Chains A and B, each alone.
Chain A
Amino acid sequence: MTRPRLSSGRLRAMFLTPAAALLAALFGIPMVILLAYTFLTRGAYGGVTAPWTFENWQRLADPLYAGILWKSFAVAAAATLFCAGIGFPLALFIARSERHRSLYLHLVILPFWTSFLVRTYAWMFLLRDTGLVNSVLLKLGLIAQPLPLLYNYGAVLLGLVYTYLPFMVLPVYATLERMDRSLLEAAADLGARPLQVLWRIVLPLSKPGLRAGSILVFIPCLGAYLIPDLLGGGKTILVGTLVQNQFTTARDWPFGSALSMALMGVVLLLMLPLARKDGAAGGDLL
């Protein structure tokens, strides 16, 4: 006969409360506030005032802003494609290694967890006019003037691929690792050469991993702020920088909120296929 005890339902509710309160107060409510702001008008010194209006949402259709949204899409898509192209062979390499697999995986993911800021700055150090790449090229006499490697979309793309490559490699690796080896043997047994096996069997069966990886890369790239800011300077305006702009220099909070909500909307749409398949909340990432 066990002693009377706290019903586990109550204990569980107690344990859940702090996190739920945190989420509600510091995530839910702020988002609702932002949503409300999208319907208000900018205040004289920043902030918001009445009247209520749809103007901010209408402005989103303005070709200038629509163009920026499209450009952000394009950059994110390009980054995703590069990550897939570069990451797939690497994932293949790791899946095929007999030993040291854990080491190879760590070598991919650990750099990501060291400072984001520092890693982005490293590219600034390399690419700026007085940076290492230009210095070396000048010294070798290969160029007469420093190449403008920094402060353009190319640099931003480079930074994005560099940062988010692990997000593509890991899911693809997971899919490859789980692949039924006997399928590959059967293909070879039936006469397919190694490259044909890769193209006809491995790649099609890797689609789930590539899909997951693509979403995990595309979403952060779409909403990126720091990388476009540092590596693109003022020359590249993407959604992230635009939003930040509205809340600081431009002091147009309602419009910035509208942009943010639009961005969130796209992110949510992209997340739906992932959510439906997994159930669990992004636990694969870590």
Chain B
Amino acid sequence: MGEVLELRALSRHYPAHRALDDLSLTISEGEFFSLLGPSGCGKTTTLRLIAGLEQATRGTILLRGESIEQRQPYERNVSTVFQNYALFPHLTVWENIDFGLRHRRGGRPGGADKRIAEVVEMLQLGGKADRTPAQLSGGEKQRVALARSLVLHPDVLLLDEPLSALDPNLRKQVRDELKALQRRVGITFLFVTHDKEEALSMSDRIALLNAGRLEQVGTPREIYQQPRSRFAAGFLGAVNWLNGVGVRPEATRLSEQRPTNACRVFEAVVESCLFLGNCLHVETVLPGGEHFVAELPYSDGAFQSGGRVHVWWRPEDELRLPA
């Protein structure tokens, strides 16, 4: 498994602000790689730079070792699945999928029809090949967009927030399908999202971006459990902060009796205790006025509002991060 895509000091500057600044990243063959971050962090810009839809101000893009940042989008072997799918309304599903094959530099490849049939089958679009986009559901449109790109066997498939346009109920199912698809096809996926749950559940590795800069790269577990900045910690989940130390709510323990073998113990008053079904969401206030949230598995009973509790956690669950 070698490197398929490398970004070196990639930047996109505008007169008023820097959409992307000095991004360096390596993505391996067959990876499901996510770009995660709040809106405006530069993740979509990165995607568009790789696709060639925008020109970088500085930096290099290497696809399988070849520098491609000077090439036109139709000269790059990467393919984009757009957020709104961008299906051609005047063409049928079949013609949409056929589009890239028709415009190949060497002419339409010999086994094109077969390839299209295969990808139609794989994405469960059988029987819909003659329809136009207007006659498709949201989920079907997305699959056509995927098919259209996959049939070209790109080195990297770029996906721009593909789940955000879907019904929330559909999202989890499509998430699983996408992950399975990637495994099956083996193509490198570069996935852009602002939803941490999506990124965490689907990715082999995640790159966290903030305000145009790379915050951290790592596996989901690494980024979640060993965030290297307050931003990273806060973006991936909730954190309680106290004197430069952070503790996640699910690592925060509560007990009425004072725990005997713990070293980080604080007294607190319960503000509210909400039963969320699968957990108990308890908000407390420490003597110094700091708010601590604990998320406890339901079996730990209930806490009265106004009651006194002890808040404690294991030292290994601490996140020591500079402010």
Contacts and interface: CB of A to CB of B under 8 A. Distances in A.
B193 interface: no
B86 A192 contact: no
B53 A185 contact: yes
A201 B88 contact: yes
Contacts of A183: 86, 88-89
A182 B161 CA distance: 14
A264 interface: no
- Chain A interface size, under 10 / 10 to 19 / 20 to 34 / 35 or more: 10 to 19
B51 interface: yes
B90 A190 contact: no
Interface in A152-189: 180, 182-183, 185-189
Interface residues of B, number: 25
The 5 closest A-B pairs by CB, nearest first: A190-B100, A186-B86, A182-B86, A191-B103, A188-B73
Given A182-B82, A196-B103, A189 B88 contact: no
Q: Is the interface of B mostly helix, strand, loop or mixed?
A: loop
Nearest to A183: B86
Interface of B: 51-53, 72-74, 78-80, 82-84, 86-90, 99-100, 103-105, 148-149, 152
A196 B103 CA distance: 8
B90 A205 contact: yes
A182 B84 contact: yes
A204 interface: yes
A193 interface: yes
Contacts of A190: 74, 79, 99-100, 103, 148-149, 152
Contacts of A185: 51, 53, 73, 80, 82, 86
A189 to B, nearest CB: 5
A189 B90 contact: no
B104 A191 contact: yes
B13 to A, nearest CB: 18
Given A185-B53, A186-B86, A191-B74, 20 more contacts: A182-B82, A183-B88, A187-B99, A187-B103, A188-B73, A189-B74, A189-B78, A190-B79, A190-B99, A190-B100, A190-B103, A190-B148, A190-B149, A191-B103, A191-B104, A192-B103, A193-B74, A201-B88, A204-B90, A205-B90
